[in-house]
Structure 1
Amino acid sequence: MRDPWNAFMPYPDADVGHPAVGPLSGLRLAVKDLFDVAGYPTAAGNAAVLAASGIKTSTAPLVQTLLDAGACFVGKTNTDELAYSLIGGNIHFGMPINPLDPHLIPGGSSSGSAVAVAAGFADIGLGTDTSGSIRLPAAVNGLIGWRPTHGSLDDRALRPLAPSFDVPGFMTRSLEPMAAVMSAVGMSAANDQPSSILIAEDIFATINDAVADEMIASLRSAGMPVRRTNTIASVSLSDLALAFITILQREAWESNRTLFERSPEAIAPDIAARLLSGSRLDDEEVREAGSIRELFSAEIDALLRENVVVALPTLAMNPPRRDAELERFAAFRSACIRLLCLSGLGGCPQLAFPIVNCAGNVSLSLFGARSADRMLMNVARQLTAE
């Protein structure tokens, strides 16, 4: 396959079979190079990991479920190194090109899967989401992005980054194939509707006022009950983000410590710096961050138990150009994590989608109670109906 977008890893083709008939028949599947697929290595975006991988003899159960449902495998896709970034760059294998705007970053870490879907090479992009690695590239590339309820999908034969946050997730160009994917992976259909959509003032205050007004107008136009609240938690967004990053860095260090100690020179400097930050955290910092997570999780459970869905912007700011300075990338990542960390801390599902008839590339997200994945889909259908 000719790949002008650098979406796919340059591996020789291997035969990956699938039934001719199934609920995902006719849909092409691109798989992030964190999942094992028989006949291929797994590099996780790192040359040293690739060298040590060998050819896998079995396929990750989640990938096999999709294949058994009739999806046609079209290749393994590029990822940020060790899945530890939100930008989409990779010093070993290059940055994929954003088909929506080639001057902008593709977003990461599920960069290749997003680009493969946006460029029309795949209908389903399988990736992972730890701190936003499905939702952010989906937003940047104008796609639907689903971060499932934590622990709801099989994550065996998937290379971890931060296991208490890691979730396999999906990207599609429209809601219908995403609904088919939800069914194929075991999310039973439901007609649940929320009692209301909740808008948190402190969350919408983080973005441009005009964009916020347009998002809120689109929510009200669907005719669903919308109500406002000052905040969804007693802890500030900044403190929640700090707690999230602390836990993420500790777990990322533990997941990659062996690689770092054996081959530190094989890791990009910015990724290595974040790993080192995780190694230097003291236990008290991590315990305090864990306490904040527990508090937020309890508060969000109580809030969402009222059968509400929280609406929020997917991104906190416009994505930078692919040739921007590292400082610009860091500012973008930091701003976005303040919003993207919420579903990670709560273990909750989130569905991101472009707003119909909205000027520019604007992505709205719905955030719901654990196991309310299908309800988010139902609400999204109402909000995107022409």
Structure 2
Amino acid sequence: MRDPWNAFVPYPDADVRHAAIGPLSGLRLAVKDLFDVAGYPTAAGNATVLAASGIKTSMAPLVQTLLDAGACFVGKTNTDELAYSLIGGNIHFGMPINPRDPQLIPGGSSSGSAVAVAAGLADIGLGTDTSGSIRLPAAVNGLIGWRPTHGSLDNRALRPLAPSFDVPGFMTRSLEPMATVMSAVGMPTANDRPSSILIPEDIFATIDDAVADEMIASLRSADMPIRRTDTIASFSLADLALAFITILQREAWESNKTLFERSPEAIAPDIAARLLSGSRLDDEEVREARRIAALFSRQIDRLLCENVIVALPTLAMSPPSRDAEPESFAAFRSACIKLLCLSGLSGCPQLAFPIINCARNASLSLFGTRGTDRMLVKVAQQLTAE
């Protein structure tokens, strides 16, 4: 397959069989190179991991589920190194090209899967989302991005980054195939309508006013109750982001400690620096971060217990250009994590989707209580109906 976008890792083709018929028949599947696929290595975006991988002889169970449902595997996709970034760059394998705007970053860490879908090289992009690695590239590339309820999908034979937050997830070009994917992987059906959609004033105040106005207008166009609230939690976004990053860095260090200690020079300097920060965290800092996460999760449970959905901007700011300075990447990552961390800390599902006829190519997200994944799709379909 011709790949001018650098979406796929250029592995030699292996025979990956799929069911002849099923709900995903006719849909092409691109798999992030964090999942084991029989006949291929798993590199996790790192040359040393690739050299040590060997050819896998078994299939990640989630990948097998998709193949059994009829999806046709078309290749393994590039990822940020060790899945530890939101930008889409990789010093070993290069940065995929954003088909929507080649001047911008593709977003990461599920960069290749997002680009493969956006470029029309695949219909389903399987990725992972720890701190936004599906939702962010979906938003940047104009896609639907689903971060599932934490723990709802099989994550065996998937290389971890931060298990408290890691989830497999998906990207598609439209909502209909996403709904089909949710059904195929066993998500429970959604018969309910939300009692209301909640707009948190403090969160929408952090983004561009014109974008916020377009998002709120889109929400009001649907035939369902809209409510405003000052905030969704007693913690500031900055405090939640700090707790999230603390847990993430500690677990990322634990997941990659052996690699770092054996081959520190084999890891990009910015990734290595974040790993090293995780190694230096004080245990009390980590305990306090976990305490905040637990309290926030309980507050979200109370907020959403009556079938409420929260609307959120997917991104905090416009994505930088692919040749921007490292400081711009860091500022973008830091700003976006303040919004993207909410699903990770709470374990709740989030669905990102582009707003129809929005001049600014904005992405809106719906955030619901655990297990309401398919309801989020139904609501998004109502919001995007012409």
Tell me the TM-score normalised to structure 1 length: 1.00
**Residue of structure 2 equivalent to 1:340:** 340
CA distance in 2, matches of 1:308, 1:20: 40
- The one-letter code of the counterpart of 2:155 is D
Residue type matched to 2:26 in 1?
G
Which secondary structure state, in structure 2, belongs to the residue aligned with residue 245 of structure 1? helix
Q: Which amino acid aligns with 1:379?
A: V
Amino acid paired to 2:345: L
Per the alignment, residue 349 of structure 1 pairs with 349
Residue-by-residue CA offset, 1:248-300 (whole Å, 9 max, x unaligned): 00000000000000000000000000000000000000000001001100000
* 3-state SS in 2 of match to 1:352: strand
Equivalent in the alignment of 1:267 = 267
Aligned match of 2:74: 74
Matched, 1:295 2:301: no
Alignment of 1:91-102 (within 5 A): 91-102=91-102
Measured after TM superposition, the shift of residue 189 of structure 1 is 2.3
Alignment of 1:44-123 (within 5 A): 44-123=44-123
Matched, 1:324 2:327: no
Q: CA deviation at 1:2?
A: 1.1
CA distance in 2: counterparts of 1:19 and 1:296, whole angstroms:
43
Given residue 108 of structure 1, which amino acid in structure 2 is its aligned partner? G
Give 1:19 deviation, angstroms. 1.2
Q: State the 1:361 CA deviation.
A: 1.2
Give the Å deviation of 1:7.
0.1
Distance 2:360 2:114 in 1: 19
Q: CA deviation at 1:306?
A: 1.6
Look up the equivalent residue of 1:25 and give its one-letter code.
S
Aligned residue pairs total 386
> 1:378: which partner in 2?
378
> Displacement of 1:20 after TM fit?
1.1
Measured after TM superposition, the shift of residue 102 of structure 1 is 0.1
Deviations 1:111-131 (A, max 9, x none): 000000000000000000000
Displacement of 1:347 in angstroms is 0.1
Q: CA deviation digits over 1:143-171, x for unaligned, max 9? A: 00000000000000000000010000000
Query: Is the Cα contact below 8 Å between 2:211 and 2:360 reproduced in 1?
Result: no
Task: Note if 1:224 corresponds to 2:224.
Answer: yes
Which TM-score applies when normalising by structure 2? 1.00
Q: Which residue of 2 aligns with 1:209?
A: 209
Q: Aligned AA for 1:81?
A: E
Residue matched to 2:188: 188
Looking at structure 2, the residues matched to 189 and 25 of structure 1 have their Cα atoms a distance apart, in angstroms, of 21
> 8 Å contact 1:153–1:168 — kept in the other structure?
yes
Q: Assess if the C-alpha contact under 8 Å between 1:192 and 1:378 holds in 2.
A: no
TM-aligned CA deviation for residue 191 of structure 1: 2.3
Return the letter of the residue paired with 1:251: E
Q: Tell me the CA shift for residue 99 of structure 1.
A: 0.1
CA distance in 2, matches of 1:145, 1:192: 22
Please tell me whether residue 363 in structure 1 is matched to residue 363 in structure 2: yes
1:264, 1:272 within 8 Å by CA — same for their partners in 2? yes
TM-superposed deviation, 1:223: 2.0
CA RMSD between the two structures: 0.5
Shift of 1:190: 2.1
Listed as ranges, the gaps of 5+ residues in structure 2 are none
Pairwise CA distance, 1:230: 0.4
Which digits, 9 at most, give the CA deviation of each residue in 1:195-228, with x for residues without a partner? 0000001100110011101100100011210000
- Kept in 1, the 8 Å contact 2:188–2:371? The answer is no
Contact 2:350 2:373 in 1 (8 A): yes
Does the aligned pair in 1 maintain the 2:349–2:372 contact within 8 Å? yes
Find the residue that maps to 1:17 and give its secondary structure.
coil
Letter in 2 for 1:336: C
Specify the SS of the correspondent of 1:57: coil
CA distance in 1, matches of 2:18, 2:295: 45
SS of corresponding position for 2:312: strand
